[in-house]
Structure 1
Amino acid sequence: MAHGKSTERMRKVGPYGVETLPQVRVDVPAAPTACRDTLTERARLHWHRHDGGDPAALAEEFLAAHGLPLHDLTRPAPTHHHSGVCGAALYLSAAAGAHLAGAPTTAPEPAPTLPDLTVVVYEHGPTRATPPAAPTPWWLGPWTESWTPRQHADAVAAVRAAIGRGDVYQTNLVGHAAAPYTGDPLPALRRLSALPGARYGGVLTGDGWAIGCASPETLIEVTDGHLITRPIKGTRPATPTGHTELLASAKERAEHIMIVDLERNDLARIARTGTVTVDDLFTVRRWCDLWQAESTVRATAADGLGLADLLRATCPGGSVTGAPKHAALTQITTLEPVGRGASMGALGWVTPGHIDLGLTIRTAAADTDLLHTWAGGGITWDSDAHAEVAEAAAKTAPIRATLAGHETHRPRR
């Protein structure tokens, strides 16, 4: 990628504009473990917002054309055969999600080479024995933030003012940073998968770009017509005191319940009447050195629910937008100085009868010159600006350290 030789390591190496290192296992989040060493790329689709059209419908049509019909997600998953088409990686940016929601997206993208939709269809091939590649020198430079702590705090104040006027109940604010690098970024991005709590750890690559994910959050999972989303809201340091504070915080619980209600409403749009339920409300789970509160929202899919309608109902995820969703998205585009790029979108695996998409929080991306990270949090009336700035820094610190090759997620005593 950057600076000469590294570009050769990320070059196109096949049909359909396929860009990936040859003869490496598929590392897409949620891809079936048993198949990862036997998959080859069959077809690829890229879409950018300036292309026009409906990305959700485009994804569904492309998958059907390549042997993965997802027009009715209530059908049981067929028996998986280790021959022919296995499934597909699906990535949808936060901007594409806002597009589906009919919300504006005017902030400039810091990594414009990244597509807003990628679908990669994989089929089974022979087992591959791949010799390890020779390591290349890796250097990651200093991070430059897209806004200062003062600007971030001012944005928090603007959200609180909007809440006071009754425009929104909660808005999620996200900041961005970029750092120059030399060498091959893929090993650095792959290291994110090993972060504790990375339920959706993995990478997806394209022509001149790559995404690395360490997300703990389920945006949407569908198995034989059963829908699950696991919104995360509420953060404290992973210490005994932090655990107690998170459980006792009225502010964090109120913020969390707001998003759970939003997710219930999102699923109700595509579910059988009366089937939406909430399990494990405000359960504390760990990601790296942070405690986070998670709930599980379940429903039964309405008859004939297809992938396109599923994406329209669930993207972008409520935990990274706010409530009401459209009003929060409108405010986000006026307050955030740059776009959300690879973050706050969807990334995972789809196949008939089963969909598993993670929300791309705790996510980094590489273009030909820079690594990019994003982090933020939900703002409510009770938010303290300085605490929100510190929370965003705490969320992105393990990502940046891991990209640089440092380990900062040892358990605290």
Structure 2
Amino acid sequence: MPHGKSTERMRKVEPYVVETLPQVLVNVPAAPPACRDTLVERTRLHWHRTDGGDPAALAEDFLAAHGLNLRDLTRPTTGHHDTGPCGAALYLSAAAGALLAGAPTGAPEPAPTLPDLAVVIYDHAPTHSTPPPPPTPWWLGEWTESWTPQQHAAAVDAIHAAIARGDIYQANLVGHASAPYTGDPLPALRRLGALPGARYGGVLTGDTWAIGCASPETLIELTDGHLITRPIKGTRPATPTGRTELLSSAKERAEHIMIVDLERNDLARIARTGTVTVDDLFTVRRWCDLWQAESTVRATPADGLGLADLLRATCPGGSVTGAPKLAALTHIAAAEPVGRGASMGALGWVTHGHIDLGLTIRTAAADGEHLHTWAGGGITWDSDPYAEVAEAAAKTTPIRTTLAGH
């Protein structure tokens, strides 16, 4: 679709008022902590895949139209918080990322009220206190999985077969579960941001949906003129034995390095030649009761790089897709029973001269009737199917426990 026509498909949504959404502290992941109690919403954009158009271009155009011009990230920053917007929340679903990559977008979404793109622009305003709404009883029902352990293991076997054929080197499989609830889900979703290691802890809300994030993983950051991604791949229990096992596992290290190479390739597409470097390869960090291996990949952006090109190059994240990325996405779409919804996408903060988007792992969403969670792991030739089932359960347990209020 031509660029001008795609702009016409933007769907602007007016700011929500107290009658439709409770006034809560703006707690968008990666928003400046010093600004959070002074932020008020100016306007927002929602987009679904059925709307047509290019979500990366739509986001860039919408931001520019409201005083946040991110069409050339290498230019000196312009604008000031006193005269323009402070910044914006940016959310892009995994399905939208697959669309940008030219891959199948997967099975139907379990929470279709969630947009595939949300951009919410915030101004500064004088601080004011709003009395909190009276608490409502919170009840969370039993979780229903979208696949059984046997079906999950069979999907791992299907990825093994694809690796044996030489189609892919690895792929990340993600499972989903939902649970009915009654009451206000926002306090439950906000609790996720307090989990240990939640670098991208926070919430983003709409009139019929809400997303709560506890992600430790940087999808892409632009700061001080440098691009940074921090892929996470490799998991063990957060015990001394688990740490030793993770550090000594040839399988986990090989899987991790494959994804680091993929991320190096992604950044090389949008970086100045020769500037891509890897720091802190396979560093073990803690998230809740798990050890995870993380590396840091850096680069200097190429001249003229804009937000849309940045999103096209990095979404969806390599650590939740596989290698090669396009082939892995094709096998993922065939293997997973439901869409990835709010998970495995991008969520964070953008403003003049600074972008900080987390990868929405360890993420939950509410659609008005159910809470939804997703979890998975990378599959290589050496993966044991039922060990992968157990790893996914270990990743989602802290999320579900926190949502329940325990």
- Normalising by the smaller structure, the TM-score range is over 0.9
Query: Secondary structure in 2 aligned to 1:220?
Result: strand
Aligned partner of 1:6 in structure 2 is none
Query: How much has 1:138 moved relative to structure 2?
Result: 0.1
The answer to whether the 8 A contact 1:283-1:293 is kept is yes
> Matched residues in 1 for 2:145 and 2:374: separation?
10
Pairs within 5 Å for 1:226-265:
226-265=226-265
Unpaired runs of 5+ residues, structure 2, are 1-11
Deviations 1:198-235 (A, max 9, x none): 00000000121000000000000001431000000000
Letter in 2 for 1:198: A
* Corresponding residue number in structure 2 for 1:60: 60
In the alignment, residue 16 of structure 2 is paired with which amino acid?
Answer: V
Report what 2:3 is aligned to.
Answer: none
Q: Are 1:136 and 2:136 counterparts?
A: yes
> What secondary structure does 2:286 align onto?
strand
Q: Which moved more, 1:143-152 or 1:14-23?
A: 14-23
Task: In structure 2, give the amino acid aligned to 1:296.
Answer: T
Aligned counterpart, 1:110 = 110
TM-superposed deviation, 1:83: 4.9
SS in 2 for 1:105: coil
Judge which range, 360-369 or 22-31, deviates more.
22-31
Distance 1:195 1:135, change over 3 A: same
Residue 306 of structure 1 deviates from its aligned partner by: 0.2
1:372-387 residue pairs with structure 2 within 5 A?
372-387=372-387
Aligned to 2:293: 293
Deviation string, structure 1 residues 325-350 (Cα, Å, up to 9, x no partner): 00000000000000000000000000
Partner Cα separation in structure 2 for residue 313 and residue 48 of structure 1: 20
Aligned mates of 1:228, 1:309 — CA distance in 2:
15
The aligned amino acid for 2:176 is: H
User: C-alpha separation between the residues in 1 aligned to 2:214 and 2:78?
Assistant: 29
Cα distance in 2, alignment partners of residues 15 and 237 from structure 1: 43
Contact 2:233/2:319 (CA < 8 Å) preserved in 1?
yes
Q: What are the Cα deviations for residues 219-264 of structure 1, in whole angstroms up to 9, with x where unaligned?
A: 0000143100000000000000000000000000000000000000
Aligned partner letter, 1:391: E
Match of 2:14 among 6, 13, 16: 16
Alignment check: 8 A CA contact 1:361 1:375 kept: yes
Residue 57 of structure 2 aligns to which amino acid in structure 1? A
Which amino acid in 2 is paired with 1:28?
V
CA distance in 1, matches of 2:77, 2:298: 18
Change (3 A) 1:384 1:331: same
Letter in 1 for 2:38: T
Aligned to 1:7: none
2:37 aligns to what SS in structure 1? coil
Cα distance change of structure 1 residues 85 and 269 upon mapping to structure 2, 3 Å threshold? same
Contact conserved, 1:83 with 1:123, CA < 8 A, in 2? no
Q: Secondary structure at the match of 2:14?
A: helix
Match of 2:398 in 1: 398
Structure 1, residues 257-291: CA drift from partner, whole Å, max 9, x if none? 00000000000000000000000000000000000
**Secondary structure of the corresponding residue to residue 67 of structure 1:** coil
SS at structure 2 position matched to 1:194: coil
Structure 1 match to 2:4? none
Query: For 1:85, what is the secondary structure of its paired residue?
Result: coil
Give the CA deviation at 1:135: 1.3
Look up the match of 2:341. Answer: 341
Instruction: Name the aligned partner's letter for residue 81 of structure 1.
Output: H
RMSD: 1.3
Same amino acid, percent of matched pairs: 85
Q: 1-side partners of 2:364 and 2:286: how far apart?
A: 20
Q: 1:81 deviation in Å?
A: 3.2
Q: Which residue of 2 aligns with 1:4?
A: none
Q: CA deviation at 1:176?
A: 0.1
User: What TM-score do the two structures reach when normalised by structure 1?
Assistant: 0.93
- Aligned-partner residue type, residue 121 of structure 1: I
Equivalent residue runs for 1:115-194 within 5 Å: 115-194=115-194
The equivalent of 1:352 in structure 2 is: 352
TM-score between both structures, scaled by the size of structure 2: 0.95
CA positional deviation for 1:80: 4.6
Question: Is the partner of 2:193 in helix, strand or coil?
Answer: helix
Gap runs ≥5 in structure 1: 1-13, 407-413
Contact 2:317 2:344 in 1 (8 A): yes
1:29-53 Cα offsets, whole Å, 9 max, x none, are 0001111111111110000001111
Partner of 1:234, secondary structure, is: strand
Give the corresponding residue for 2:217: 217
Question: Which AA in structure 2 matches 1:188?
Answer: A
Letter in 2 for 1:174: V
Mapped to 2, the partners of 1:201 and 1:363 lie a distance apart of 9
Note if contact 1:344-1:361 (Cα within 8 Å) is conserved in structure 2: yes
Amino acid at match of 1:72: D
Residue in structure 2 matched with residue 41 of structure 1 by the alignment? 41
- 1:218 and 1:106 mapped to 2: Cα distance? 24
Map 1:263-274 onto structure 2 (within 5 A): 263-274=263-274
